[in-house]
Amino acid sequence: MNKRAVKLADNTISAEEIRALAGWLQEDHQLTKGPLTRQFEAEFAAYSGTKYSIMVNSGSSANLLMAYSLLEAGYLKNKKVIVPAVSWITTLSPFIQLGFDCFLCDSDADDLGVDLNHLEALLKKEQPALLILVHILGHPNKMEAIQRLCEQYGCRVIEDACEALGSEYAGQKTGALSLAGSFSFYYGHHISTIEGGAITTSDGKLYSVMLSIRSHGWSRDVPEADRIAWRKEHDIDEFREFYSFYYPGYNLRSSDLNAFLGRGQLQRLPDIAKTRERNFELYRKALPDFWSQRSERSFVSSFAYGTFVKNRLAVFHHLKANGIECRPLVCGSMGRQPFWIKRYGVMHLTVADRVHDFGLYLPNHANITPDDISHVAHCFKEVAEPL
Ligand SMILES: Cc1ncc(COP(=O)(O)O)c(C=O)c1O
């Protein structure tokens, strides 16, 4: 039996990629706002099957940029948003910071995306402008039913696909299944630009607004036709244009150094995603007595292997003693997090509470071997009690 340590995440950037980066850095390149960021964006959009992509410095920045740009572009009929209770803090926090009313939605018991019945009840009662989905641990939400419901109630949909790079639903990539999708390239996600992220969209107006808000609110990165139209609308001359701000923006840019890494990583992504799916299936077969995520996917670029156990702390300590890392199943429920309780009081939701109290995830990454999975499953079964 293989006894080597099994980490939650591992580097996806190879020694060869670092050498190539070091060589490139020694040449005389513009290191930020240069051509590599635009090249990476074009390649990432082509991979995703969307018209555009925008590179930013993290998945969290991507969520912030989507939220604020939708507001500034006039795409939201009110400031009410539905956020999955099982999500990530920076899926939700931009909406809190921007003064939205946030409604937590319970999770689907199979895929851990949004629960359709709770979603419909919230849509009916609150009439929100926006739903942000999270494809938990790589498993796509029930997109067809969700889109149908949201159309019926006039609610726009966006995706936080930070855990689902490479997953597919009905043959289309996650992140390309709604108005806009966000991704993280943080070390430990599917691909790494050290820190980094991106947004995908096929909506031209939103694209221009996001490009502007990413960089201070100026227009110089915005496509020519929109840039000239904005200038004319505000009667701004060519010189004043340099420092004209159309939105009260941020600086959420990444750099060409990160884009250099991203271009190399993108080439390896299809293989990385296949290994992650293989690992998911190996875990599922090795742990038949334990709950496993089931989704309407055509492909799962699994982020980690989620399951439920009665004795989570004992499992955590036993795995740790055997050199194996594990974590709670993402955030558990936002309705049980300290910041939420302090602001709004505790919120109980059936499935999200189960995730909060009993959920955990086991490591999956591109360097994990079938042997590693047998080792993890063996140690896990020594103590874990299925829920
Ligand atoms: C669903 C989800 N959204 C957003 C993020 C944030 O990404 P980043 O760490 O690049 O800011 C994460 C990070 O793990 C995540 O899991």
- The per-residue pLDDT for range 21-37, each reduced to its tens digit, is 999 999 989 999 889 99
Residue type, 324: I
Question: In this model, does residue 179 exceed pLDDT 60?
Answer: yes
Question: In this model, does residue 1 exceed pLDDT 70?
Answer: no
E strand map for 146-273: 156-160, 168-169, 172-173, 180-184, 197-201
Are 234 and 226 contacting, i.e. CB atoms less than 8 angstroms apart? no
* Cα–Cα dist 38/357, whole Å: 44
Give the Å distance between the CA of 165 and the centre of ligand 1.
12
Residue type, 304: A
Exposed / middle / buried, residue 252 (Cβ in 10 Å: 0-12, 13-18, 19+): buried
Phi, psi of 134 (to 5 degrees): -130, 130
| Residue 60, ligand 1, Cβ within 6 A | yes
Are 166 and 15 contacting, i.e. CB atoms less than 8 angstroms apart? no
Kindly list the structural domains of the chain, giving each domain's residue range(s) and its CATH number in brackets, ordered by start: 15-259 (3.40.640.10), 269-383 (3.90.1150.10)
* pLDDT value for 48: 98
Percentage of the chain modeled with pLDDT above 70: 99
* pLDDT value for 216: 98
3-class state of residue 168 by DSSP? strand
Mean local confidence (pLDDT), 7-12: 93
Mean local confidence (pLDDT), 200-211: 98
Burial 176-196 (b: 16+ CB within 10 A, else e): bbbbbbbbbbbbbbbbbbebb
| Residue 162, ligand 1, Cβ within 6 A | yes
3-class state of residue 328 by DSSP? strand
Residue 335 per-residue DSSP state: G
How many CB atoms neighbour CB 254 within 10 A? 26
| Residue 254, ligand 1, Cβ within 6 A | no
Give the Å distance between the CA of 186 and the centre of ligand 1.
8
From 88, 133, 139, 192, the mutation candidate for ligand 1 (largest count of ligand atoms within 8 A of CB) is 88
* pLDDT value for 2: 46
Give the Å distance between the CA of 162 and the centre of ligand 1.
5
Nearest to residue 172, comparing CAs of 149, 200, 198, 196? Answer: 200
Percentage of the chain modeled with pLDDT above 90: 97
How many CB atoms neighbour CB 313 within 10 A? 9
| Residue 184, ligand 1, Cβ within 6 A | yes
CA dihedral 118, 124, 128, 129 (to 10 degrees): 110
Question: In this model, does residue 190 exceed pLDDT 50?
Answer: yes
From 55, 57, 60, the mutation candidate for ligand 1 (largest count of ligand atoms within 8 A of CB) is 60
* pLDDT value for 3: 59
Kindly state the tokens that stand for 214.
């990413």
Residue whose Cα lies nearest atom 7 of ligand 1: it is: 59
| Residue 159, ligand 1, Cβ within 6 A | no
Mean local confidence (pLDDT), 134-155: 98
| Residue 256, ligand 1, Cβ within 6 A | no
Are 59 and 162 contacting, i.e. CB atoms less than 8 angstroms apart? yes
| Residue 90, ligand 1, Cβ within 6 A | yes
- 324 or 34: whose pLDDT is higher? 324
From 162, 167, 330, the mutation candidate for ligand 1 (largest count of ligand atoms within 8 A of CB) is 162
* pLDDT value for 297: 84
